[in-house]
Amino acid sequence: MAEFTPMIQQYLKIKASYKDCFLFFRLGDFYEMFFDDALSASRELEITLTSRDGGGEDRIPMCGIPYHSAANYIKNLVEKGYKVAICEQVEDPKQAKGVVKREVVQLITPGTVMEGTMLDDKENNYLASISYISNGEFIITYNDLSTGENSIAIIDRGWDAVLNELFNRPIKEIVISSDLEEKYQNDLTERLQVTLSYMDETLINEAFTNLVETISEEKLIQSFGRMLNYLQSTQKRTLDHLKPVQIIELEQFMTLDMYSKRNLELTETIMRKGKQGSLLWVIDQTVTAMGARMLKKWLERPLLQQNAIEKRYDLVEGFLEQFMEREAIREILKSIYDLERLSGRVSFGNVNARDLNQLKVSLSKIPQLKELLTQFVNQRVNKLGDHLDPLTDLYGLLDNSIIEDPPISIKEGGLIKDGYNQQLDEYRDASRNGKKWIAELEKKEKEETSIKSLKIGYNRVFGYYIEVTRANLHLLPEGKYERKQTLTNAERYITPELKEKESLILEAEEKSVDLEYLLFSELREQVKAYIPKLQALAEKISEIDVLQGFASVSELNDYNRPIFNSERRITIKDGRHPVVEKVMKNDSFVPNHVNMNDENDILLITGPNMSGKSTYMRQLALTAILAQIGCFVPCQSANLPVFDKIFTRIGAADDLVSGQSTFMVEMLEAKHAITNATENSLILLDEIGRGTSTYDGMALAQAIIEYLHEEVHAKTLFSTHYHELTSLEESLAKLKNIHVRAEEYQGKVVFLHQIQDGAADESYGIHVAKLAELPQSLIDRATVILKQFENDQTRETTKQTLVAEDDQQLSFFRQEQNKQKDNLTKHKVKDSNLLKSLKKINIMEMTPMEAMNELYRLQKKANEE
């Protein structure tokens, strides 16, 4: 480093502590970046790359951005997953001996963003940390720095369960220990696409012990300590707004894995990755940012406790019954700002006078909100207002201190009301009277000199001055005016009298500005004491907002209150898919019933493509989720069990990141459902087996159905194009065939989208190809080939191929639960040739697909011999 200039040496020394960050190095009015940072930043931000002499042999790559417009550049980098270290001058350049002292004052990362322009108002910005305990047990800690929320969850079902849990929340960054296994780190970056940060320190500073007072287990305290130490090391400022840690009891909520959340499009669509078209898009009738965030949290974690769900129903019903009062509440809520994030900004020290005015306006609405809630007949709604604290003292403090329309800057004065501070009033009086005296002096000078164009002005360099044009210089009296500045067409003068008054005015103005900043800082500290109460108030307002939103969407879309039962019965009359129904907008959605009692665990759904099988399956799952978050549901009536888990295998997609084919993804998702479901779960399986050969697919599909029927007993909707499987209704007592109606009319297929009992007659695949407008010659050829297939192989023959003895069934999923040993070793192999073939197989070197194909070949050979 000795070859570099002192300033570059300083840069390199600071950069060494922030190797994984862009270092924004303050030089005057710019943040500069050097070396590799400059090369990367110029590319990512599309700014000009230059160079400078740094003292070495070669010029140093350099790029820079103006500090006053840095926010947008920082936002750009953070959204791409980068970290930015802000390095400021912490010493007055006039007093510096040598290079001005600089330090990193804040580290901005994807999970620790605080600036409003970088945050989505309706979305939490979570930072997570993971601590590995032992034997497949992990602890996950969540923090939203912008709201102060802290929570913690224990995951004891292995790494896949960790991924499912993390996928369930909008995580931007994850803090881990430096020794977490590399395979886990790769999963986090590649599958979840988050930024990784490292923190090994887990001891909690005494100042923060109040955050873990309710936690007794040391492993939980240390896990939160990892998160807390990372926040302290990156933010370098007070964190008074952090809330006590809440333990997430995962067994109190419905389990929704990453596959189900994605396939059901709960918060974003699969194709566009946006909110529009998701379930959240349909039901979000909240009017505050706080309420929108709470709704999303409720949707991510449906309840399992029926009493808690029924309580929400009662509140929704109460809001539904009184439209006018509910609309009045909506109007009041529109005037309430984001109290959670305002509290965070107060604690963080980046709140301005306008933010405090927003806080004052919000508090002014609380008495009106309380009064409106007392007008509801429903007792639960009526009592919601009892817990709303209007914080009268805080409102009075803000009302007495901040003017109605303050400036954005807090360092230039003009934001504190007259009468709030006596000293400030005296300074202002001196300043105002001084300016009045200046105006009177200008008038007097004009009269004495008879120069009508004479004026008294002010600038920061020369202060106050008397300006006279050159044409009138001869009218000035001798000896009274002292020349100050010469202009092209005028001269500027000063008098002893004006100079004395200038000193008084400027001193008063300077002291006034300094005092206002001091008073505002003190005011901010006073507001900080109210943060816990503000956060409690924000939570209550959020809950009111979500519940009135449920009532609004239920009234708007004709949703009804469901009933729960403990007999595992599903009875839905005229059920509808909430999203498809809204998108269609023309009342053409065809509702359908769902009926499943204790004697019926599996509905086997057949019917042509585009007929509505997937829609029918999804709408049941969405209805169950809506019911368990406390919202009314899209149907005429519903009687449901409380589902503990929902699993889905819908749609086809390669997992290119992990190198898995569509079929492997299909098998993994099916395995996940089958091995984790209970009899109180809901499983949706859409066309299992279509990713492989016909015989393989049918064999797998039948084996899965039989396993679900005999071992799992979960309520299952299973759609298929393998019509041969419909014969299972005869052998499986709790399986029932249903189909989606379609009629052929004048050579064209008409989809009726109606569910009826029994199996479908045919698949109408060629008719769907016609609708897609494939070339007519291709359609004609397909028709000929289809007739040949139908002549060569009847359905009965296919059934005989599929039906096999129990000792020859596929044991792929049974092996996952270790409930039985390998079927091939349990049965005697009668034929010596078959035994030889079996011994030659090296299972450990075969892919899953090769293993399945070899098993099918052996089964076929056994049947033949």
Secondary structure of 660-699 in HEC code, one letter for each residue: ECHHHHHHHHHHHHHHHCCCCCEEEEECCCCCCCHHHHHH
CATH number of 422-525: 1.10.1420.10
Instruction: Specify the amino acid at residue 317.
Output: E
- Size (the chain), residues: 865
pLDDT for residue 816: 44
User: What does the pLDDT look like over 98-113, one tens digit per residue?
Assistant: 899 999 999 999 999 9
Residues 6+ apart with CB under 8 A from 30: 64, 65, 66, 67
C-alpha closest to that of 715 among 605, 601, 625, 565: 601
Instruction: Specify the amino acid at residue 391.
Output: L
Which positions of the chain have pLDDT values less than 50? 653-659, 794-830
In 203-233, which positions are buried (b, 16+ CB within 10 angstroms) versus exposed (e)? Answer: ebeeebeebbeebeeeebbbbbbbbbbbbbe
Q: How many helices (H) and strands (E) does the chain have?
A: 29, 27
**Longest Cα separation, the chain:** 133
C-alpha closest to that of 555 among 735, 320, 385, 288: 320
pLDDT for residue 67: 92
pLDDT for residue 507: 86
State how far the Cα of 198 lies from the Cα of 18, in Å rounded to an integer: 12
Residues 6+ apart with CB under 8 A from 280: 266, 267, 268, 295, 296, 299
* Helix or strand run (H / E) with residue 468: strand 463-469
State how far the Cα of 133 lies from the Cα of 111, in Å rounded to an integer: 23
User: What are the backbone dihedrals phi and psi of residue 275, each rounded to the nearest 5 degrees, phi first?
Assistant: -70, -40
State how far the Cα of 43 lies from the Cα of 57, in Å rounded to an integer: 25
Q: Which class is 121-248 in CATH?
A: alpha beta
Instruction: Specify the amino acid at residue 456.
Output: I
Dihedral of CA atoms 720, 726, 728, 733 in degrees, nearest 10, equals 100
User: What does the pLDDT look like over 54-80, one tens digit per residue?
Assistant: 887 789 999 999 999 999 999 999 999
C-alpha closest to that of 222 among 239, 251, 200: 200
Pull the structure tokens for residue 211: 């955050």
Helix, coil or strand: residue 70: helix
DSSP letters, 492-543, are: EEE-HHHHHHHHHHHHHHHHHHHHHHHHHHHHHHHHHTTHHHHHHHHHHHHH
Pull the structure tokens for residue 471: 């044409």
Q: How many angstroms separate the Cα of 601 from the Cα of each of 110, 451, 684, 708, 828? A: 45, 102, 12, 9, 34
Instruction: Specify the amino acid at residue 235.
Output: Q
State how far the Cα of 550 lies from the Cα of 559, in Å rounded to an integer: 9
* 8 Å CB contact between 301 and 337: no
What fold does the segment set 563-761+793-820 form as a domain? Answer: Rossmann fold (3.40.50)
State how far the Cα of 257 lies from the Cα of 677, in Å rounded to an integer: 11
State how far the Cα of 415 lies from the Cα of 418, in Å rounded to an integer: 10
- Annotated binding-site residue numbers for ATP: 607-614
Pull the structure tokens for residue 285: 């009738």
State how far the Cα of 864 lies from the Cα of 842, in Å rounded to an integer: 24
pLDDT for residue 549: 98
In 760-782, which positions are buried (b, 16+ CB within 10 angstroms) versus exposed (e)? Answer: beebbebbbbeeeeeeeeeeeee
* 8 Å CB contact between 632 and 316: yes
Residues 6+ apart with CB under 8 A from 6: 98, 99
pLDDT for residue 690: 76
C-alpha closest to that of 215 among 248, 245, 251: 245
CATH number of 284-391+530-557: 1.10.1420.10
Please name the residue that has the structure tokens 């599309």.
Answer: 46
- Annotated binding-site residue numbers: 607-614
Q: Which class is 6-108 in CATH?
A: alpha beta
